[in-house]
Amino acid sequence: MEDKTLRVIDEAGNEKDFEIVLTFSSEETGKSYVIYKEPGDSDEVFAASYDETQEDGGDLKPIEKESEWDMIEEVLNTFLEEEETNE
């Protein structure tokens, strides 16, 4: 996931490329997360957990717990605030 592009294959076998916004690991959950969006100026973001020990990141796992969504939102907001400050 180093190249900032993520190829997602849906249940029907269709491939779609996304831009990686941010990856991070949480000591609290013991998981690694990726936040990604469609290429371009899209403001809609998606998030999933993945296994960073696998070379290709393995399968994306859906975020199912509200507490994880809250943590992801907090991390993303902090990241975006830092980006604004650096511009």
CA distances from 62 to 34, 43, 46, 81 (A): 11, 20, 10, 25
pLDDT-flagged residues of the chain (< 50): 1
- Give the pLDDT score at 26: 94
Q: Yes or no: say if 36 and 19 are a contact pair by the CB < 8 Å rule.
A: yes
Cα separation of 18 and 24, whole Å?
A: 17
pLDDT given at position 35: 95
pTM assigned to the model: 0.85
Q: What backbone phi and psi angles, to 5 degrees, belong to 35?
A: -110, 130
Residue 35 in contact with residue 45, Cβ under 8 Å?
Answer: yes
Q: What is the pLDDT of residue 36?
A: 95
Q: Quick one: tokens of 22?
A: 């941010």
pLDDT of res. 1 = 43
Report the domain count for the chain: 1
Query: Residue 29's domain spans which residues?
Result: 5-86
pLDDT at 57: 66
